[in-house]
Structure 1
Amino acid sequence: MPSTRYPNLLLGAIVQEEEDLERGHETEAITSLPDGLDGLGQGKLEAKKMASLPTFLLFLISRICRCYQSPIINKPNFIIFLADDLGFGDLQSYGNALSETPRIHELVEDGIKFTQFYSASPLCSPARASIYTGRYAVRSGIWPTAESLAPVFNQNMTGGLPHAEITIPEMLAKQGYKSALVGKWHLGVGRNKEFLPLHHGFSEYFGIPHSHVDCPCLTCFYPNDNCAQPDQCDMFNAPCQLLMGDEIIEQPVDMTLLAARQARAARSWIRKNSCSVTPFFLMYAFSHPHVPQFSGRQFRNSTKGGSYTDSLAELDWQVGEVMDELKRSGVIENTLVIFTSDNGADVDAMEEGGFSGVMRCGKRTTFEGGSRVPTIAYWKGQISSRISTELLSHLDIWPTFRSLSGSLAEEFDVTLDGFDFKDVLLKNGKSQRHSLLYYPGSPKPHIGAFAVRDIKYKAHFMSGFDGQCCISSPTPNETFSQHILFDILGDPEERNDLSTKSDLILDKMSILKKIESENVEFGESVLEEADENFQLCCNPGCEPYPGCCKCASNYTVEMFPINVNCDLLNLPFHQDQNDACQN
């Protein structure tokens, strides 16, 4: 049998320098050799030998590699790349000339670029809950009962995503999947860590449990540059924690190293599960480009757009690292990849907050800029390159993954707000979604959804504004005095109010909102209880708490081995490739 090194060599690789945290060196990506070769010098020699082989022999080896690179896994793998506060107009592929996001652009070139894909909330925590559960977040109790309460989970809160909810990892586990979360959680910790990812179906977790803006932020850019907007950070909370599972391994987090560490963790996990032929779900939840932006040595001052696009470039690099690992591990053709954002751009932060493109307003609002998000789907060999205008939502991911994984709807006792869009992905079919509710950042049961849309129209029944854009929780003096209506297909900017010209359509939309809203029951709020004594601290009992929660880092690269070689020759393969090998 041929050596396993040659198939791996022809698959190509981009490996990372091992970072030496004891000396403060940052991990960087370098174009180099496949994992598993005995030293950099030997690898160069092997590559040189390959380049000198006769054309006939190169053809023979490439044919052998084609037979060995794609193991059979009857169930597809799933990856969600979830950006944080990425606006509809932020990416290079969505029209931003200042953004340098070539790896995301590669997904667009060979995948589906969606133009009407929506978050289920214009704010972080409820948006993430809706992805994981396939349900509007108000059902899960992720709404504040008073204006004085935060509409998202912060470090002082002791609640979390209710365990009664069936998350994507829990749903997929019935089909033998393993799930990992790399990055931001933001769905609660609890008094005894009972709401962290490992307690919601994930088998592994590596990342920051809260938003990094909920911590003191001083250094955001390599080597020790200040954060662009430190005033937005909570300087009186505990320093940000880096968790592995339920345990703190670093506090405060070194933000300049976070991207490289997360990319390594994702690569290691993909390699491990690919080698064991285990179907997997990876949620890669970035803290980029949420304020305050941050980046490491490789991307600091690397773009024309400043801190924001530097942050985007580092996000893009992480996408590339994961995609390259899928190729190296031989599972690229068996993995559905979805890139999206939790909600729209934080336009209130001005130039540091992102760009909504032509969409009106941004994060926290029920205008299009708050919840219409850039979304891309990629699945090599299964998805054809195109632009889709189908109406879809994050709510639709849960039932689609369920369908593709092989489970039946009746296996789960759950009321979903999403629809299976498998046919949109694989057959260029039509979406089953015909309407969408828009909840504000701080919804109220007596008001319900602020807006509703169908295929063509969108009607606002409650919305506030400050003269320039909008706010999320209107006061009596800052509300529209009448309902407003837009042809959302022809006027996605929401500029031309049709409400005085189309009474019949407005009445129809009012009925639609009533019917749809009545089907959504608000759960008991989980954002009420708070106790600062339960902030995660690596040094319990220290004083003055919580600022004293600082410890030496326990992170090592050995936690996430990426030079693990599995024998591709011993894995099961696609039948057609086996047939090709026999001929």
Structure 2
Amino acid sequence: MDRFVILLELFSIMPALAANSNKPNFVIFLADDMGFSDPAVYGNPLADTPNINKLAKNGLKFTQFYSASSVGSPSRAAILTGRYPVRSGVWGKDTAVFNQELTGGLPHEEITIAEMLAEQDYKSAYIGKWHLGVGYDREFLPLQHGFDKYFGVPHTHSDCPCEICFYPDEPCDYDECIVKHAPCQLMYGNSILEQPVDLTTLSERYARAATSWIQEYSCSSTPFLLFYAFQHTQVPQFAGQRFANKNVGGHYIDSLAELDWQVGQVIDELMKHDLLENTLVIFTSDNGPDLEQMENGGFSGQMRCGKESTFEGGHRVPTILSWPGHIKSGISLELLSHLDIWPTLRRLSGSLEDDFNVVLDGIDFSNVIFSHTKSRRRTILYYPTRPDPEIGAIGIRNNQYKIQNISCEEVCPNSNGGWRCDTQPYILYDLLLDPEERHALSNDTDHYWSTLQLMTEQLFNVSSQIEFGESVLTDFDVTAQMCCDPECKPFPHCCKCKSQYSADLFPLDQSCHGSMEKDQKHGNRHRI
């Protein structure tokens, strides 16, 4: 399509942007294992989430927004690439997510959001949990996937020994941390700043990095992407001095409150530099809550099941988009996916579809967010946590119906606590009438069989178009774990060094001249 025609269409749905020559900035907040009903604005009566609530009040709250996987690594790959994670090879038969001993990572052939935006002269920063592999030589970390800055923990913080989680010295209330692995690393670029990471001060430092980098980007008038991936609310829960043991809902609510505070810090900094009206803010979660952890694992509300499940609680996630002056506040019932973020940001940044040689599974949904019109997404595929290339997706939904093919032992508990064994080969639900998936449609009507035939054909047709890439979750090597002192013994338990973190890495209230000098002085791609 002609570029001029594309621009005319874009301006037709974004009249305010037509008068603004600046490219929009993008901030993506990604919560970890946050349930559909965890934020107060989605129904949690105990949640202390005023900043998320304010985003929803001033923005567009989605009720049918989906992750591409019910576990973290595949879900994150889908957000960054706009492709079902099985295409990228982020799937495995023996393990569903990356850990410290895996040697693979998100393939470099994939075009991440950061790499796509770089074609339009954007700068990109990644803060927080990566969970897409490290490699032997740190070749899969964010800087090697198009991001210009990185500050965070590359793995899940339960993938290492966990000791102190709540200020000042309260132990973690979780007994499944991987004690045989190296202590968690805090990274700055490709360098280890701290090992083990101090969880009680981590959120404060993440927020400081975000604040500093926003100031820096504001000084240079550079369009930017800030991808802020929280460690919260993955177990073990943790919180610093501001929030530890401060909420009536216990440790999970403390953790949730600390997450919300970080959202507020970023939004306040955008406002301080008059950037908010030129910044699209996206808040979402990678997948559903870890219900096995009971009160420490989140809240899926009316949605059935949670993390690791193909029921709605595993895939349907709280999602809010906010852009003052551009997005009208409201609630959207449109069917959308994490897969749709990549093509939408491509459009908003000024690129064309054929600027990139990539097969996407997402759609541009700018018409939904700016005009509140119908989504062009027709289906959502559901893959199990350990997909089989011979089978492909095991479920699909369209605007109304959903089928999935699951065996009796895989059905999670009903809301009444009992277990149910479904005998038909496919379970069929009407998600518009029964989003809780409490009642599978009866198979004694003609309507059931005609709908089932339509859905099974749709599942086969859509799933067969998704080609599995070679799995990158196959090769393990205990020596691949990152260590601040690689020669120490006994490895990897000895990997403990004095923290090299300094607040000077992230200066605040900096002058624009000082910011540019700092950027030249501190190379972000060095390694220790």
TM-score between the two structures when normalised by the length of structure 2 = 0.90
Quote how far apart the aligned CAs of 1:446 are: 1.4
Counterpart Cα distance in 2 of 1:514 and 1:246: 43
Structure 1, gaps ≥5 residues long: 1-70, 471-476, 568-583
Quote how far apart the aligned CAs of 1:435 are: 0.7
- Residues 380 and 397, structure 2, Cα contact 8 Å, conserved in 1: yes
Give the aligned partner of residue 200 of structure 1: 145
Partner SS, residue 401 of structure 1: helix
- Residues 450 and 463, structure 1, Cα contact 8 Å, conserved in 2: no
Aligned to 1:224, which of 153, 163, 169?
Answer: 169
Find out whether 1:524 has 2:470 as its counterpart.
Answer: yes
Quote how far apart the aligned CAs of 1:464 are: 5.1
Find out whether 1:265 has 2:209 as its counterpart.
Answer: yes
Give the aligned partner of residue 484 of structure 2: 538
- Residues 207 and 243, structure 1, Cα contact 8 Å, conserved in 2: yes
Work out the number of aligned pairs and report it. 487
Quote how far apart the aligned CAs of 1:301 are: 1.1
Find out whether 1:497 has 2:440 as its counterpart.
Answer: yes
Aligned to 1:438, which of 371, 382, 388?
Answer: 382
Counterpart Cα distance in 2 of 1:366 and 1:244: 36
Give the aligned partner of residue 94 of structure 1: 42
Letter of the structure 2 residue corresponding to residue 484 of structure 1? I
Quote how far apart the aligned CAs of 1:357 are: 0.4
- Residues 65 and 317, structure 2, Cα contact 8 Å, conserved in 1: yes
Quote how far apart the aligned CAs of 1:565 are: 3.0
Aligned to 1:166, which of 111, 118, 121?
Answer: 111
Quote how far apart the aligned CAs of 1:351 are: 1.2
Aligned to 1:114, which of 41, 62, 68?
Answer: 62
Counterpart Cα distance in 1 of 2:412 and 2:372: 39
Quote how far apart the aligned CAs of 1:495 are: 1.2
Partner SS, residue 214 of structure 1: coil
* Inter-CA distance 254–480: structure 2 relative to 1 (3 Å threshold): farther
4+ residue runs of structure 1 moved beyond 3 angstroms?
463-468, 477-481
Counterpart Cα distance in 2 of 1:212 and 1:311: 14
Within a 5 Å distance, the mapping from 1:416-435 to structure 2 comes to: 416-435=360-379
Counterpart Cα distance in 2 of 1:518 and 1:274: 46
- Residues 73 and 279, structure 1, Cα contact 8 Å, conserved in 2: no
Counterpart Cα distance in 1 of 2:456 and 2:405: 8
Counterpart Cα distance in 1 of 2:454 and 2:242: 54
Quote how far apart the aligned CAs of 1:76 are: 0.3
Give the aligned partner of residue 242 of structure 1: 186
Counterpart Cα distance in 2 of 1:186 and 1:479: 35
Q: Deviations over 1:544-578 (max 9, x none)?
A: 100000000010100001111349xxxxxxxxxxx
Find out whether 1:212 has 2:160 as its counterpart.
Answer: no
Q: Deviations over 1:127-154 (max 9, x none)?
A: 0000000000000111113xxx221000
Counterpart Cα distance in 1 of 2:259 and 2:484: 28
Tell me which structure has the larger Cα radius of gyration. Answer: 1
Q: State which drifts further: 437-446 or 110-119.
A: 437-446
Counterpart Cα distance in 2 of 1:404 and 1:353: 36
Within a 5 Å distance, the mapping from 1:284-323 to structure 2 comes to: 284-323=228-267
Give the aligned partner of residue 482 of structure 1: 425
Partner SS, residue 215 of structure 1: coil
Aligned to 2:310, which of 349, 355, 366?
Answer: 366
- Residues 250 and 554, structure 1, Cα contact 8 Å, conserved in 2: yes
Find out whether 1:550 has 2:496 as its counterpart.
Answer: yes
Quote how far apart the aligned CAs of 1:486 are: 0.4
TM-score between the two structures when normalised by the length of structure 1 = 0.82
Letter of the structure 1 residue corresponding to residue 99 of structure 2? N
* Inter-CA distance 271–543: structure 2 relative to 1 (3 Å threshold): same
Counterpart Cα distance in 1 of 2:131 and 2:90: 11
Quote how far apart the aligned CAs of 1:466 are: 5.7
* Inter-CA distance 316–463: structure 2 relative to 1 (3 Å threshold): farther
* Inter-CA distance 478–235: structure 2 relative to 1 (3 Å threshold): farther
Counterpart Cα distance in 1 of 2:442 and 2:275: 51
Counterpart Cα distance in 2 of 1:415 and 1:463: 32
Partner SS, residue 232 of structure 1: coil
Quote how far apart the aligned CAs of 1:306 are: 0.2
Partner SS, residue 268 of structure 1: helix
Give the aligned partner of residue 413 of structure 2: 469
Aligned to 1:179, which of 109, 120, 124?
Answer: 124
Quote how far apart the aligned CAs of 1:295 are: 0.3
Q: State which drifts further: 524-533 or 491-500.
A: 491-500
Aligned to 2:80, which of 132, 135, 153?
Answer: 132
Find out whether 1:507 has 2:453 as its counterpart.
Answer: yes
* Inter-CA distance 237–81: structure 2 relative to 1 (3 Å threshold): same
Counterpart Cα distance in 2 of 1:480 and 1:92: 37
Aligned to 1:352, which of 292, 296, 299?
Answer: 296
* Inter-CA distance 558–222: structure 2 relative to 1 (3 Å threshold): same
Partner SS, residue 334 of structure 2: coil
* Inter-CA distance 518–332: structure 2 relative to 1 (3 Å threshold): same
Quote how far apart the aligned CAs of 1:440 are: 1.4
Counterpart Cα distance in 2 of 1:480 and 1:300: 47
Letter of the structure 2 residue corresponding to residue 222 of structure 1? Y
Quote how far apart the aligned CAs of 1:469 are: 2.6
Aligned to 2:321, which of 354, 373, 377?
Answer: 377
* Inter-CA distance 463–331: structure 2 relative to 1 (3 Å threshold): farther
Q: Deviations over 1:459-490 (max 9, x none)?
A: 112355466539xxxxxx98855211000111
Give the aligned partner of residue 62 of structure 1: none
Quote how far apart the aligned CAs of 1:208 are: 0.2
Find out whether 1:400 has 2:344 as its counterpart.
Answer: yes
Q: Deviations over 1:229-286 (max 9, x none)?
A: 1x22101100000000000000000000000000000111111011100000010000
Counterpart Cα distance in 1 of 2:408 and 2:185: 36
* Inter-CA distance 464–396: structure 2 relative to 1 (3 Å threshold): farther
Counterpart Cα distance in 2 of 1:205 and 1:76: 21
Quote how far apart the aligned CAs of 1:428 are: 1.0
Partner SS, residue 437 of structure 1: strand
Give the aligned partner of residue 9 of structure 2: none
* Inter-CA distance 237–459: structure 2 relative to 1 (3 Å threshold): same
* Inter-CA distance 271–480: structure 2 relative to 1 (3 Å threshold): farther
- Residues 73 and 334, structure 1, Cα contact 8 Å, conserved in 2: no
Partner SS, residue 205 of structure 1: strand
Quote how far apart the aligned CAs of 1:300 are: 0.5
Counterpart Cα distance in 2 of 1:397 and 1:219: 36
Partner SS, residue 158 of structure 2: helix
Counterpart Cα distance in 1 of 2:190 and 2:239: 25
Q: Deviations over 1:399-450 (max 9, x none)?
A: 0000000000001000000000001111112111011101111111112111
Give the aligned partner of residue 133 of structure 2: 188
Counterpart Cα distance in 1 of 2:48 and 2:21: 34
Give the aligned partner of residue 11 of structure 2: none
Counterpart Cα distance in 2 of 1:345 and 1:463: 22
Partner SS, residue 193 of structure 2: strand
Counterpart Cα distance in 2 of 1:507 and 1:226: 53
Structure 2, gaps ≥5 residues long: 1-18, 415-419, 514-528
* Inter-CA distance 504–530: structure 2 relative to 1 (3 Å threshold): same
Q: Deviations over 1:488-510 (max 9, x none)?
A: 11101111111503000000000
